[in-house]
Structure 1
Amino acid sequence: MTKAIQSSVQVGELATGQALTVPIYSFMGSENSAPSVYIQANVHGAEVQGNAVIYQLMTLLEGYQVLGDITLAPLANPLGINQKSGEFTLGRFDPITGVNWNREYFDHNVDIQNWYAEHQHLTNSELFCAYRSMLVETCQARLTHSFGISTGHRLAVNLQAMAHQADIVLDLHTGPKSCKHLYCPEYDIDAARFFSIPYTLIIPNSFGGAMDEATFCPWWQLTEYATSQGREFSVPVSAFTLELASQERIDLADALEDAKGILAYLSHRGVIAEKVNPASMERFGCYLKDYKKFHAPKAGLIEYCASVGEPLTAGKPLVNILRIDLYGSEQAYQAISLPMDCVPILHFASASVLQGTELYKVMTNVFPLQPS
């Protein structure tokens, strides 16, 4: 039986001087050539389901032969997790700066032309090792910046430094009221068929601030530049964001299904010795440019009519807006629909909204993902 080794990593300090730490669980692989894995959860305070998935995954891994090193970081943002107001967890934004915790990662902006010119004599494996070392060392240098860095950026870069040491990176999130969906880079779309997730957002191979992009973008840039110089290899690192339904929710049975989907992908990549088949299910995709946000045209009380994860025909009600202050007029109640077919993916958690509030995110131009 494979057992996880527990440790912790310091990601900052509290005002009273105590160390701010994240628990780390590690499965040591038996083969150096197998891909290594980093999985984190709960960067946003209310998005707790990823912790349940990590628990179920660790339980499953005890019964498998682990070939590649697996590092898991549940409870990855202790500041966000403990940012409570009454019964709600507010930990989506750094309370000091107002920045989204998942947009604090470091954009390396590697001078790829000069770096490659200095290292092009290396074999592929040596090249990848040197590039990985450079990324990790750059993160470490960032943490000791002479002018200092913000609390949120320090947390993010500490997590990023761990992620850069892996070949596969999974960042586990949830939405407010959401169905499961996967963020997958264009170059790695085939991976979507392994996870137990029905909808996939296909994102550009570029940096937008999130952990998955912070991880795979430097490797995409290296691969593209090497290709331009007549040297071809596949992108060495894969990174995905898994959105595991709604926030403020723990469902261990559902977490087990998502853990099995992760296990199927790890099996496909050779991280474990055993064969694990992906769930038999329909999967659909949408390019990020076709992922639309619907904002409240006016303030009011909202009835969310469209179920997340269920196709919505053009003209069918998306929301009903109630304005009790306008009772007796035609403006007291208004049904709102969209002019195109779509799949609602997530919606705002509260029924009382200001004008301009982002009420829904919907996929348009949805297409089936064909199994390979």
Structure 2
Amino acid sequence: MTKAIQSSVQVGELATGQALTVPLYTFSGSELFSPSVYIQANVHGAEVQGNAVIYQLMTLLEGYQVLGDITLAPLANPLGINQKSGEFTLGRFDPITGVNWNREYFDHNIKVQAWYTEHQHLNDNELFQAYRSMLVGACQARLELPFGLSTGHRLAVSLQTMAHQADIVLDLHTGPKSCKHLYCPEYDADAARFFSIPYTLIMPNSFGGAMDEATFCPWWQLTEYAASQGREFSVPVSAFTLELASQERIDLADALEDAKGILAYLSYRGVIAEKVTPADMPRFGCYLCDYKKFHAPKAGLIEYRAVLGEPLAAGQPLVNILRIDLYGTEQAYQAISLPMDCVPILHFASASVHQGTELYKVMTKVFSITH
């Protein structure tokens, strides 16, 4: 039986001097050249289901032969997790700066042409090792900047340092009210058929501040530049964000299904010795540019009509808006629809909204992902 070794990493300090630490669990692989893995969960305080998935995955891994090192970091944001207001967890934004905790990662802004020119004499494995060392070193240097870092950026760069040391990075999140969906870089779209997730967003090579982009963008840039110089290799690192339904929710049975999907992907990548078959289920995707946000055209009380994860035909009700202050007029109760077919993926958690609130995110131009 394979057992995880428990440790922790310090990601900051409280005003009273206590260390902020994140628990780590490591399965040591038996094969030197098998891919290494880093998995984290709960960067947003209310998004707790990823911790249940990590628990179920660790339980499963005890019965498998682990070939590549696997590091798991549940409870990855101790500040966000403890950011409570009454019965709700508010930890989506750093309360000091207002910045989204998942938009704090370091954009390396690598001058790829200059770096590649200096290192192009290396063989592929040496090139990758040098590039990884540069990424990790840049993060470590950033943590030591003489003028310091914000609390959120320090947390993010500490997590990013660990992620850069892995070949596969999985960041586990949830939406407010959401169906399961996967963020997947375009070069790795084939991976979507392994996870137990019905909807996939195909991402371009563009850094927006999130962990998956912070991980794969530098490697994708290197791969594209090398190709322009006549040197072909696949992007050496894979990174995904798994959105595991809704926040403020723990469901161990559902977590087991998602853990099995992760296990199927790790089997496909050779991280474990055994063959694990992915779930037999329909899977659909759209490009990130076709993932649309619908904002409230006016303020009011919202009746969410569209079912998450179910196709919605053009003209069918998305929401109803109740304006009790306009009782007696045609504006008191109004159905709102979209002019195109879509699949609603997530919606805002509250029923009371300001004008302009992001009510829904929907996939358009949806296509089937074959098994």
User: Normalising TM by the smaller chain, what interval?
Assistant: over 0.9
* Residue matched to 2:213: 213
Is the contact made by 1:310 and 1:343 (CA closer than 8 Å) also made in structure 2? yes
**2:237 is the alignment partner of 1:237:** yes
The code of the aligned residue for 2:6 comes to Q
Question: 1:28-59 CA deviation, whole Å, 9 max, x = no partner?
Answer: 00001100000000000000000000000000
* Residue matched to 2:188: 188
Question: 1:239-295 CA deviation, whole Å, 9 max, x = no partner?
Answer: 000000000000000000000000000000000000000000000000111111111
* Residue matched to 1:138: 138
Match of 1:39, SS state, is strand
Match of 1:12, SS state, is strand
The code of the aligned residue for 1:168 comes to I
Q: Percent identity?
A: 88
Structure 2: segments with no counterpart, 5+ residues: none
* Residue matched to 1:10: 10
Match of 2:189, SS state, is helix
Is the contact made by 1:187 and 1:205 (CA closer than 8 Å) also made in structure 2? no
Q: Point out 4+ residue stretches in structure 1 off by more than 3 angstroms.
A: none
The alpha-carbon deviation at position 342 of structure 1 amounts to 0.4
CA distance in 2, matches of 1:304, 1:222: 44
CA distance in 1, matches of 2:292, 2:112: 34
The alpha-carbon deviation at position 15 of structure 1 amounts to 0.4
The code of the aligned residue for 2:286 comes to C
CA distance in 1, matches of 2:335, 2:232: 54
Deviates more, 1:122-131 or 1:243-252: 122-131
* Residue matched to 2:269: 269
Question: 1:323-357 CA deviation, whole Å, 9 max, x = no partner?
Answer: 11111111110011111110000000000111110
Is the contact made by 1:296 and 1:359 (CA closer than 8 Å) also made in structure 2? yes
The alpha-carbon deviation at position 165 of structure 1 amounts to 0.2
CA distance in 1, matches of 2:370, 2:242: 19
Match of 1:137, SS state, is helix
The residue correspondences of 1:56-135 to structure 2 (distance < 5 A) are 56-135=56-135
The alpha-carbon deviation at position 229 of structure 1 amounts to 1.3
TM-score normalised per structure 1: 0.99
Q: CA RMSD in A?
A: 0.6
CA distance in 2, matches of 1:275, 1:205: 31
Question: 1:142-195 CA deviation, whole Å, 9 max, x = no partner?
Answer: 001111110000000000000000000000000000000000011110000000
**2:339 is the alignment partner of 1:339:** yes
* Residue matched to 2:171: 171
The alpha-carbon deviation at position 114 of structure 1 amounts to 1.4
CA distance in 1, matches of 2:11, 2:83: 16
CA distance in 1, matches of 2:255, 2:119: 43
Match of 1:218, SS state, is helix
Match of 2:235, SS state, is coil
The residue correspondences of 1:308-319 to structure 2 (distance < 5 A) are 308-319=308-319
The alpha-carbon deviation at position 231 of structure 1 amounts to 1.1
